[in-house]
Amino acid sequence: MTGGSTTGDDGATAPSSGLHEERAAWPLWEVFVRSSRGLSHVHAGSLHAPDAEMAVRNARDLYTRRNEGVSLWVVPASAIITSDPDAKDAFFESPQGKDYRHATYYTKSEGVKHL
Amino acid sequence: MSEANASATRITPGNALRPEDIALQDAKPADAVARYALGLGDDALILAQRLGWWISRAPELEEDVALANIALDEIGHARSFLTYAGRAWDKTEDDLAYFRREPEFRSVHLVEQPNGDFARTIARQFVVALYQWELYSRLVHSSDPTLAAIAAKAVKEVDYHRDHATQWVLRLALGTEESRRRMIAGLRLTWPYVEELFTDYPLIDEVGDAGVRPSELRESFDSAVRTVLTEAELEVPAVPGAVGGGRLGRHSEHLGYLLAEMQVLAREHPGASW
Amino acid sequence: MTATAIDTRADHDAAGEKVFNDIIARDSRIEPRDWMPADYRKSLTRQISQHAHSEIIGMQPEANWITRAPSLKRKAVLMAKVQDEAGHGLYLYSAAETLGTPREKMTEDLIAGKARYSSIFNYPVLTWADIGAIGWLVDGAAICNQVPLCRASYGPYGRAMVRICKEESFHQRQGFEILLELANGTPEQRAMAQDAVNRWYAPSLMMFGPPDEDSPNSQKSMEWNIKRFSNDELRSRFVGMMVEQIKVLGLDLPDKDVRFDEGTGRWQYGPLDWNEFKEVLAGRGPCNAQRLERRREAHEEGAWVRDAASAYAARQAAKPTTTKAA
């Protein structure tokens, strides 16, 4: 990079060299893209950005380069709460055996029009 | 001329207007309009050439992507303007980009300025984007339908460039001591080349309603600059304006090197197609 | 508990291991919060981060020609392609991050010379035709490698690869068209094209990795459904495609041993210089030092910018955000 020499900033030092070691990287954001009006936002991926304003701009540049979206959500990755994968059985088993929630459970009405 | 107009207006302003479409249409600009378009095209081309350097060198990968997007927008505008200008003289965009000599370019000195560090690039970007936005948002009313159509697409893209530069001016100015110092230095190095952007040149009288008079943009530009710099707790740099002349073919020392690099391969193989 | 928090429970989790093995046996997908063997995590982190590094280092040889591209259309295409590579690097770093290693750490390993990337990017890009050859041969080989990775057992990796493969289809075509234009151009252009193919052919074949008998990690990787085909299998498939495509270019492959072997059903090719491969991998290629230096420079000289943005964000954090989800 030619920055230093052209700006006369050669030899510039960080304001506090002590900060260098514990420098915090930009946080991670999850990106959700609405591909067209009427559809939900769908998770597209993630990126790093210093704040929400830059995150939504970086998301625009990174995830909609090919007309993939009409709207974006960015969410700090740390704000997303996940269901516990260990509790998979207990958490997701309840709907099993409740076939009556599905239309296919009701066979006697088969063949009746507009039903 | 009505035939030409009909052809140009087939493209709905704002829809993706590609240089390929312009090359195919019947509209041929008047000589003055072509020379005017050449200046705008050269600005965009030289800026894209400068910005392209950053790709693979930006401060963070996300910024590589952002700067590349801006460079791609600018090269798109350059291709449209140059293609249209070239129709007046039976030249292609590449004839104009690669086989003109330095004094035949009509770019302003601002876009020729070196990238410097990221702050200097952002300072240049801030000025260019604000200027281009003021310009294109008026050029959409050009009496020349093709220029109006090119501007209609460009103004939306440049609006984003304006936003990008503004975000970075704020962050660098109000970030750390070092970034603030660099941002101030970047603006100071950039400001001498602001005046040329708003200086009327003889061609403007010939272009008439097809073009936009640079001096008319100054007030809105200044006000937009003040808004951002106030938020960034910065002053407008108090530096004298440099004598310009880019629109007349008198350039900064930087342009020669830039053109040498840009044109080297094409000139090694005159007449070749790529 | 967050989406990206990493499970640090003991590796010897019998119940977890059973679930993991069942998922692999069903050819289903492992997701970040699932239990996984330490080796699986380690091996994936290595593979995905190397892949990401390759995209990022791979920007450089092509970016060098952005300023010299011989037509404005080619300049725009090349910018878009190099930009895509940054994007692909980002997708892959994100996938690797879900395994628990932050991007910052991966970048530091890269610039410290502790991480690997595809050795092909340590060869110099000498002429414009090289840009064509890279698109056609290098991206072609990469696509051959990557398409099966879309089905990799690790969900985030597979999803990143789906996106990358979709976007990359234009990369190989633009390279092919550069070569086609040159091959049909002036005698100098044609010679430039043939020279580029001559130089990039063998390195592109070596991109598939060492011969199967010398590829110790492959077996495990295949058991885990990360890798689906062996190095030699993919290499031979690639040669078969190139044999047909070079005819359209009207150029020659620099390999007189190429032939289809009816017995094995595979394409055969001439001997490859694996010694050179190892040398380049070990850091003794023509451009290793240059590529790392440029990456290091961009990263270190960008530090003040990243710091400024972080400091600004911290300052603004107290203020309420104005853009709400809708």
The answer to whether the beta carbons of residues C260 and C267 sit under 8 Å apart is yes
Distance between A3 CA and the closest CA of chain C, angstroms: 9
Helix (H, G, I), strand (E, B) or coil at C272: coil
The answer to whether the beta carbons of residues C306 and B60 sit under 8 Å apart is yes
The tokens for C150 are: 């879309």
User: Tens digit of pLDDT for each residue in B52-85?
Assistant: 999 999 999 999 999 999 999 999 999 999 999 9
Give the integer Cα–Cα distance in Å for A87 and C130.
Answer: 54
Question: Is the CB of residue A65 less than 8 Å away from at least one CB of chain B?
Answer: yes
The answer to whether the beta carbons of residues B26 and B4 sit under 8 Å apart is yes
Q: Which of B55, B79, B98, B120 to mutate to test the interface with C (most CBs of C within 10 A)?
A: B55
Q: A64 vs B48, B153, C52, CA distance in Å?
A: 21, 17, 20
What's phi and psi for A41, nearest 5 deg? Answer: -70, 135
Question: Is the CB of residue C1 less than 8 Å away from at least one CB of chain A?
Answer: yes
Q: Where are the alpha helices (DSSP H) in B88-144?
A: 93-98, 109-112, 118-139
- Report CB contact under 8 Å: C294, B64: no
User: Concatenated DSSP letters for C196-249?
Assistant: HHHHHHHHHHHTT-S-GGG-HHHHHHHHTTS--S-HHHHHHHHHHHHHHHHHHH
The β-bridge partners of A76 are: A29
Amino acid, res. A94:
S
User: Percent of chain C beyond pLDDT 90?
Assistant: 85
Give the integer Cα–Cα distance in Å for B249 and B98.
Answer: 16
Q: C206 vs C118, C144, C236, CA distance in Å?
A: 10, 13, 11
- C10 pLDDT band (50/70/90 cuts)? low
Give the integer Cα–Cα distance in Å for B26 and B266.
Answer: 28
Residue A35, number of CB atoms within 10 A of its CB: 16
The tokens for C32 are: 């970040």
Q: For chain C, what is the radius of gyration of the CA atoms?
A: 22
Instruction: Give the mean pLDDT of C285-306.
Output: 96
The β-bridge partners of C268 are: C259
Instruction: Spell out the residues 6+ positions from residue C150 whose beta carbon is closer than 8 angstroms to its own.
Output: C158, C161, C162, C165
Cα dihedral A53, A54, A56, A57 sign: positive
The answer to whether the beta carbons of residues C223 and C281 sit under 8 Å apart is no
Least confident of A95-99, C172-176, C267-271, C283-287: A95-99
| Closest chain A residue to the Cα of C107, Cα to Cα | A25
Binding partners of B (≥3 Cβ pairs within 8 A): A, C
Average pLDDT, chain B: 93
Distance between B74 CA and the closest CA of chain A, angstroms: 15
Q: Which of C7, C8, C33 to mutate to test the interface with A (most CBs of A within 10 A)?
A: C33
The answer to whether the beta carbons of residues B42 and A8 sit under 8 Å apart is no
Distance between C326 CA and the closest CA of chain B, angstroms: 21
- Name the residue facing A73 among C97, C316, C325 (closest C-beta): C325
Question: pTM for the complete prediction?
Answer: 0.90
| Segment (H or E) for B58 | none
Helix (H, G, I), strand (E, B) or coil at A32: strand
| CB < 8 Å to A25, chain C | 102-104, 306
- C325 pLDDT band (50/70/90 cuts)? low
Size of interface B-C (CB pairs under 8 A): 146
C250: left (phi over 0), alpha (psi -120 to 50) or beta: left
- B90 pLDDT band (50/70/90 cuts)? very high
The answer to whether the beta carbons of residues C270 and C258 sit under 8 Å apart is yes
Please tell me the predicted confidence (pLDDT) of residue A10: 34
The tokens for C180 are: 């086609």
Average pLDDT, chain C: 92
- Report CB contact under 8 Å: A47, C313: no
Give the integer Cα–Cα distance in Å for A66 and A55.
Answer: 18
- Report CB contact under 8 Å: B186, A14: no
What's phi and psi for C185, nearest 5 deg? Answer: -95, -145
- Report CB contact under 8 Å: B64, C189: no
Please tell me the predicted confidence (pLDDT) of residue C216: 77
Instruction: Spell out the residues 6+ positions from residue B27 whose beta carbon is closer than 8 angstroms to its own.
Output: B4, B5, B7, B8, B84, B87, B145, B146
Least confident of A71-75, B257-261, C103-107, C277-281: C277-281
Please tell me the predicted confidence (pLDDT) of residue C292: 96
The tokens for C318 are: 């107290």
Give the integer Cα–Cα distance in Å for C175 and C57.
Answer: 19
The answer to whether the beta carbons of residues B105 and B169 sit under 8 Å apart is no
- B230 pLDDT band (50/70/90 cuts)? very high
The β-bridge partners of A32 are: A43, A73
Q: Which of A47, A72, A84, A92 to mutate to test the interface with C (most CBs of C within 10 A)?
A: A47
Residues 123-182 of B with CB under 8 A from C: 170-172, 174-176, 178-179, 182
| Closest chain C residue to the Cα of A45, Cα to Cα | C91
Instruction: Give the mean pLDDT of C75-100.
Output: 96
Cα dihedral B211, B216, B220, B223 sign: positive
Please tell me the predicted confidence (pLDDT) of residue B183: 98
pLDDT of B20 above 80: yes
Tracing tokens 């370019």 back to the chain, one arrives at B105
- C105 pLDDT band (50/70/90 cuts)? very high
Question: Is the CB of residue A29 less than 8 Å away from at least one CB of chain B?
Answer: no
Please report the beta strands in chain C, taking only residues with DSSP state E, as ranges in sequence order: 259-261, 266-268
The answer to whether the beta carbons of residues B136 and B158 sit under 8 Å apart is yes
Please tell me the predicted confidence (pLDDT) of residue A8: 31
Binding partners of C (≥3 Cβ pairs within 8 A): A, B
- Name the residue facing B174 among C71, C181, C315 (closest C-beta): C315
Half-sphere exposure of C129 (CA within 13 A, CB side): 24
- Name the residue facing A25 among C103, C313, C317 (closest C-beta): C103
The answer to whether the beta carbons of residues B271 and B222 sit under 8 Å apart is no
What single DSSP character describes residue B241?
Answer: P
The β-bridge partners of C2 are: A81
Give the integer Cα–Cα distance in Å for C308 and B232.
Answer: 13
Helix (H, G, I), strand (E, B) or coil at B34: helix
- Report CB contact under 8 Å: C307, A23: yes
pLDDT of C281 above 90: no
Please tell me the predicted confidence (pLDDT) of residue A17: 36
- Name the residue facing B164 among A4, A8, A57 (closest C-beta): A57
ipTM: 0.94
Taking Cα atoms as reference points, which of B117, C310, B34, B136 lies closest to residue A6? B117
Distance between B216 CA and the closest CA of chain C, angstroms: 32
Question: Is the CB of residue C94 less than 8 Å away from at least one CB of chain A?
Answer: yes
User: Tens digit of pLDDT for each residue in B205-228?
Assistant: 999 999 999 999 999 999 999 999
What single DSSP character describes residue C2?
Answer: B
Residue A10, number of CB atoms within 10 A of its CB: 9
By residue count, chain C amounts to 326
Instruction: Spell out the residues 6+ positions from residue B142 whose beta carbon is closer than 8 angstroms to its own.
Output: B148, B151, B209, B210, B211, B212
**Angle, CA B48 vertex, CA B42 and CA B50 arms, to 5°:** 105
The answer to whether the beta carbons of residues B214 and B198 sit under 8 Å apart is yes
| Segment (H or E) for C84 | helix C72-97
Instruction: Spell out the residues 6+ positions from residue B253 whose beta carbon is closer than 8 angstroms to its own.
Output: none
Taking Cα atoms as reference points, which of C304, C305, C299 lies closest to residue C104? C299
| CB < 8 Å to A8, chain B | 185
Instruction: Give the mean pLDDT of C105-130.
Output: 95
Spacing of C-alpha A87 from chain mean position: 23
The answer to whether the beta carbons of residues B206 and B253 sit under 8 Å apart is no
Helix (H, G, I), strand (E, B) or coil at C169: helix
Question: Is the CB of residue A103 less than 8 Å away from at least one CB of chain C?
Answer: no
| CB < 8 Å to A82, chain C | 1-3, 5, 33
C255: left (phi over 0), alpha (psi -120 to 50) or beta: beta
Question: Is the CB of residue C213 less than 8 Å away from at least one CB of chain A?
Answer: no
Q: For chain B, what is the radius of gyration of the CA atoms?
A: 18
